[in-house]
Amino acid sequence: MSLEFSADAQKKIAALCERYTVSGTKQPVVMAALHLAQKEFGHLSDDALRLVASTLSLPYAHVYGVATFYTMYRRDPSGKTTIRMCTNISCMMRGGYEVLAAFEQKLGVNVKTGGTSSNKAFTLIEEECIAACANAPCAVVGTRYFLDITTDQVGKIIAELESHPSPESEVV
């Protein structure tokens, strides 16, 4: 199946191509184009990578190399809302792993085996430091931060995200 970017995404990509001063290549726009593709198609399938490659006149292998280097690009389908729960040092020291376990239990997932809930509503990720260490333990969900989380707040957070899913799609 061949994919196409929406008119809006095409406009954004065209505008970005003007922002980098190197002549003869659209390569610097590849990261933004991958973000846009992921937003529009949910994940970066081979077809999505091919679309990015042809849009920017880049070799497929190059686009593939970039897409597989960065952790935010998803090659496989995932839940509608992605919860990134930090377990790095400051969060670990204030209960980050316990909060992660509470998320796993409530969502019925295991972060080590993908972390996507069976109803595809959520993907839980064990994240490295998200630069909110002074409010540890914490999680970031798109444009929203959940700070100073205790295990007994986890149910409420999930309920809240169920009624306002996927804040990630607000931004590209």
Partner 1 sequence: MPTEIGTKVVTARFGNEEAKTLAGYEKTGGYSSLRKALAMRPDDIVNEVKASNLRGRGGAGFSTGTKWGFVPKDAKQVHLVCNADESEPGTCKDRELMYWDPHLLIEGMIMSAHALKAVHNYIYIRGEMMREYAVLQKAVDEAYARGYLGKNILGTGLEVQLTVHRGAGAYICGEETALLNSLEGLRGQPRLKPPFPAVKGLFGNPTIVNNVETLMNVPFIIDKGGAWFNGLGTGRSGGTRIVCVSGHITKPGVFELPMGITFNQIINDVCGGVWKGNKVKAVIPGGVSMPPLDADELDVPCEFDALQTDERIKNVMVRPGQQFDLGGGRALKTMAGSGGIVVMDHTSDIPKYVWRIMKFFAHESCGQCTPCREGTGWLEKVSKRVADGNGKATDLELLASIAHGIAGNTICALGDAAAWPMLGFLTKFRPDFEAAIAKAKKGEAAA
DSSP H helical ranges for the chain: 7-17, 30-41, 46-55, 60-67, 89-92, 96-107, 154-163
Stretch that binds partner 1, among 4-12, 113-121, 122-130, 154-162 (CB under 8 A): 122-130
Report the number of secondary-structure helices (H) and strands (E) in the chain.
7, 4
Stretch that binds ligand FES, among 10-18, 101-109, 131-139, 143-151 (CB under 6 A): 131-139
Residue 28 sits in the site that holds partner 1 (CB under 8 A): yes
* Residue 146, token pair as written in the block: 């959940």
Would you say 82 or 116 has its CB closer to partner 1?
82
**Nearest by Cα to 71 from 33, 125, 145:** 125
- Quick one: which of 30, 37, 102, 138 contacts ligand FES (CB under 6 A)? 138
Residue 65 sits in the site that holds partner 1 (CB under 8 A): yes
CA angle 82, 88, 89 (to 5 degrees): 155
Residue 60 sits in the site that holds partner 1 (CB under 8 A): no
Residue 84 binds which of partner 1, ligand FES, none (CB < 5-8 A, kind-dependent): partner 1
Distance (Å) of CA 103 to CA 100, 117, 150, 153 = 5, 11, 11, 10
Residues 29 and 39: their CA atoms lie apart, in Å, by 15
Would you say 1 or 98 has its CB closer to partner 1?
98
Residue 42 binds which of ligand FES, partner 1, none (CB < 5-8 A, kind-dependent): none
Residue 133 sits in the site that holds ligand FES (CB under 6 A): yes
* Residue 43, token pair as written in the block: 């994940």
Residues 133 and 153: their CA atoms lie apart, in Å, by 18
Would you say 32 or 102 has its CB closer to partner 1?
32
- Quick one: which of 114, 129, 166, 167 contacts ligand FES (CB under 6 A)? 129
- The residues of the shown chain that bind ligand FES, judged by CB under 6 A, are 86, 88-91, 129-130, 132-133, 136, 138
